[in-house]
A and B are shown apart, each in its own frame.
Chain A
Amino acid sequence: MNATPSAAGPPAPAGAAKIHVETIARVEGEGALHVRLKGGRIQDLRLEIPEPPRLFEAFLRGRRAEEAVDITARICGICPFAYQMSAAHAVERAWGIAIDPQVRALRRLFYCGEWIESHALHIYLLHAPDFLGYQDAFEMAAKLRPEVERALRLKKLGNTIMRVLGGREIHPVSVRVGGFYRVPTKSELAPLAEELKWALEASRQTALLVKTLPFPDFQQDYEFVALSHPDEYPLNEGRIVSSLGVDLDAAEFEDNFVEQHVRHSNALHSVVRERGSYLTGPLARFNLNYAKLPEVALETARACGLEPPVRNPFRSIVVRAVELVFACAEALRVIEQYEPPAAPCAPYERRAGTGMAATEAPRGLLYHRYTIDGTGLILASKIVPPTAQNLKRIEDDLWRYLPQVLSERWDAPVEEITWRAEQAIRNYDPCISCATHFLRVRVTHEE
């Protein structure tokens, strides 16, 4: 716990205080939040990313385009498959590779595995403790053992799907440009179905459980951005759409979404050109693709009182649970309909070109662009991770939410304000280790 009141001595009310959370816990990667309050008002607020830059876009130059699949997976150990997919799709588009429908279905199944793992982890182990007042899931396990065990079993199933398809759950090895190195047989997938049936019900129970959590009354007018596909809830494919009318192909992403260097935060923030911050992730997907959810997920949403547009970011935990239901149902569907493709990988020829693709990582839209030369080497690349896109929006939430907390209780202790701020950040399941191009921040404090 790093909250430090400005005055020495016993816990001071937050009316005039500096809040420094040097390490935001229960997020992937390292972030720091600095808030300066005076007279109950925010003087300054910065969400900082001290995560060291790893310069992926630079060292991708001169690598084979096929290598982007394995190299960019290492941007994020939490959603490596998302990186593999955005990279593979971008290169496939550059080279005009058509994907076998069964390979496409397997990629959806793989993605469901990653969503199940990531969502179960975040709902139960990272976010629920905030609502219930526990420091972590270990503490929570002492009181809520069956729930934590359910979380671990769900998480394990997500990982098992990834292991069956990819050899291992973190940085799987079977994915390649054009398809897979090896695809599973029907009998390898069949045993997953039994556990998925349990998981479908467990996910429904999860949603019904988390809908009873205490949610702050906090609604925002977001611009929601997500993929949208005519027939399915989006994972790998679709146009990029927004609640304010954006509708474009991934190839047009950079014309409409720009990264700004904002002085007060010293971090690159993605914004909609000439508009401002936007939200990507479960809330956006749900609000923009509600009608494409399978019936069992729609039923769950209704039972939880969720109807689009959901504008309370704290309720993202319920939406994540509904997506868990979707992912289990979708995984079951793919397994039931699966026929191994004629070949695990489509043949292709390397050629010069540029390819862009966006897919839906568990925490939101993930955009990749590669420019490739005639021999198949990468000349330039750009990667825009979901958390970079949400960063400005997280700050905007904090600017509005913290005054609300203070107005409800002006003498709230710094400790409490700090925790509420952390909870609001964790609404986004931020994954800061995808620091492909976050800036390292120098901290200065004004008196």
Chain B
Amino acid sequence: MKPDKHRPVVGIFKFASCDGCQLSLLDCEDELIAVAGAVEIRYFPEASRNIGKGPFDVAFVEGSITTHHDADRIQQVRRQSRLLVAMGACATAGGIQALRNWQDSGEYVRLIYAKPDYISTLKTSTPVAEHVPVDYELRGCPVQKAHFLEMVCALLTGRRPQLPSASLCIECKRKGNTCVLVTLGEPCLGPATQAGCGALCPSVGRACYGCFGPHENANAPALAKRLREDGMSEADLQRAFRTFNAWAWQFRKASEEVEAR
């Protein structure tokens, strides 16, 4: 282990989210103590009362930006951090709470809260990259802990992290799964979704619901056409693209095209 002063300083920051991505870090049961020794975890309120100040070598950011306060806070996090890693569907795509982006969020608030004036919230839920430059993205709802560990190893050795970028179909083929879309006729988002989960849903005979978000070259409109031919209704198509990565541009565009029909 390197001497203390050379250990990279890490901060784990939370915005609007379920905490699942941070918990994935604590779920690295076999590696947790080693990671805590190899880096200096200076800011991780979910795990520690020691709340230290920046600058940070790397900030892992969970959650989307949904309030004025958080819009300011993400700027502060960026200013203090050499690298910023957006972690999970909320941070990379706005999360499920981005469904408000197509609605009147004032009405949403009135629906739930007795005294809507006390609620201070933005009209939209947006990914971190809409506010500050992001260096790396860890996809998924939640992230894969292996990807987090890869990120830490890359940081420690000064190389680029090797993260999946192909479509989910590649993982299904490698596992030898029966194709959920072609053979079972289920509305699978796999062809447009980024690999990384290990094809979890097709492995239990279920259509992928896209929780890792669109991959770089996703052709969502072509997938929509295919699903339509298989008998999926326009409303179901729109819902399929509007889940945990609804605001990711490929899914967003596809769902808006469906809506416009």
Contact = CB atoms under 8 A, between A and B. Distances in A.
The 5 closest A-B pairs by CB, nearest first: A77-B20, A136-B48, A58-B108, A156-B29, A182-B204
A305 B41 CA distance: 38
Contacts of B49: 1, 25-26, 129, 135-136, 419, 422
A143 interface: no
Contacts of A181: 201, 204-206
Interface of A: 1-2, 23-30, 50-59, 63-64, 67, 70-71, 74-78, 80, 121, 125-126, 129, 135-139, 141, 148-149, 152-153, 155-156, 159, 167-171, 173-174, 176, 180-182, 261, 266, 268, 419, 422, 431, 433, 436-437, 439-442
A182 B105 CA distance: 37
B70 interface: yes
Nearest to A418: B49
A74 B141 contact: yes
B108 A55 contact: yes
B119 A439 contact: yes
26 contacts: A1-B49, A23-B51, A25-B45, A26-B49, A55-B105, A55-B109, A58-B100, A58-B111, A59-B96, A70-B243, A74-B20, A77-B142, A78-B20, A121-B26, A135-B50, A138-B41, A149-B33, A156-B30, A168-B142, A173-B204, A174-B206, A261-B114, A419-B49, A433-B18, A439-B115, A440-B118
Interface in B78-94: none
A262 to B, nearest CB: 11
Contacts of B29: 152-153, 155-156, 159
Q: Could you say which interface size class chain B belongs to?
A: 35 or more
Contacts, number: 196
B63 to A, nearest CB: 8
A55 B23 contact: no
A78 B96 contact: no
Given A53-B119, A181-B204, A170 B23 contact: yes
User: Chain A interface mostly helix, strand, loop or mixed?
Assistant: loop
A87 B201 CA distance: 19
Nearest to B120: A440
B252 to A, nearest CB: 15
Contacts of A28: 19, 23, 46
A25 B66 contact: no
